[in-house]
Amino acid sequence: MNAASKKAILIVSFGTSYENTRKRTIDAIERDIADAFPACLAYRAWTSKMIIAKLKKRDGIIIHTVKEAMEQMLLDGITDVIVQPTHVINGIENDQMKADALSFRDRFSSIVFGNPLLTTEEDNQAVVQAVAGEFQDMDQETALVLMGHGTEHYANSVYAALDYRFKDMGHKNIFLGTVEAYPALDSLLRAADSFQPKKIVLAPFMIVAGDHAQNDLAGEDPDSWMNRLSSEGYEVTPVLKGLGEYPKIRQILVDHVQQAMNASI
């Protein structure tokens, strides 16, 4: 990189309208990345236009889309961009984010991408260790049931693979499903029945503990995971803590920025 070049990191999240979880997750990830790479300017973009519009109308907060952030970086004289998503998987949101950023490829010296949270086998192993570590005080007769988002994108297969990996790494009492795809709650119920836990801890497997966590996971609706599991006779404790609150999860994303930097040299 020559002396005249200016490098920035664009941190891209889906977004959330829940301020409390945003401060503990997205804000914390952005802060950790900015602290780790003080020579780079850090920028934010969100991919959910619905959430961006909601925050603008409700709170008067302006958050850039990926394209708006790229335009802002051009105005600020940035020449080289590392785009680091906080997305969990290489799904639809990540594909669209890449397309939006790459539409500017002729206007920057370089645009490189860091990987989403679950990309390599090393990532999967590190995530299993990070999640299991957060719940290490849980006894073996208690099951941890994690709610991922799920997607129609083929990358959804990573959820079933990770559920298997939890078991393979010795965590027989950790179950991972999704709210919108496979494995669904019915699959988890069958698995939990065979494990026969005395209690169930329910937690989101998403960067933020936002709408899905508040409603689909722990909401009052009879179809919420908490109520479905409770109706099966389990004693259920919800833990509304997004993955972005786990220091070791944030560190994986910081490492992904470093890997992208190394690849761009």
Tell me: the pLDDT tens digits for 218-238?
999 999 999 999 999 999 999
Tell me what pLDDT residue 173 has.
94
Rg of the chain, C-alpha, whole Å: 19
DSSP string, 236-250: EEE----GGG-HHHH
Tell me what pLDDT residue 194 has.
86
Q: Which residues are catalytic?
A: 149
Mean pLDDT of 189-214: 92
Structure tokens at 221: 């609706």
Mean pLDDT of 187-209: 92
The three-state secondary structure class of 18 is: coil
**Confidence (pTM):** 0.95
Over residues 146-169, the pLDDT tens digits come to 999 999 998 999 999 999 999 999
**Whole-number average pLDDT of the chain:** 94
Tell me what pLDDT residue 62 has.
97
At residue 265 the predicted structure's pLDDT band, cuts being 50, 70 and 90, is low
Task: State the Cα–Cα distance between residues 121 and 265, nearest whole angstrom.
Answer: 24
Tell me what pLDDT residue 193 has.
82
* Through-space distance between the first and last CA atoms of the chain, rounded to whole angstroms: 8
Tell me what pLDDT residue 263 has.
87
At residue 192 the predicted structure's pLDDT band, cuts being 50, 70 and 90, is confident
Over residues 17-46, the pLDDT tens digits come to 999 999 999 999 999 999 999 999 999 999
Task: State the Cα–Cα distance between residues 26 and 21, nearest whole angstrom.
Answer: 8
Mean pLDDT of 4-26: 94
Task: State the Cα–Cα distance between residues 117 and 107, nearest whole angstrom.
Answer: 28
Over residues 38-85, the pLDDT tens digits come to 999 999 999 999 999 999 999 999 999 999 999 999 999 999 999 999
At residue 5 the predicted structure's pLDDT band, cuts being 50, 70 and 90, is confident
Structure tokens at 10: 């664009």
Beta strands in the chain (DSSP E): 7-13, 41-46, 80-85, 110-113, 142-148, 174-178, 199-204, 235-238
List beta partners, residue 147: 177, 204
The identity of residue 117, as a single letter, is: L
Backbone angles phi, psi at 83, to 5 degrees: -100, 115
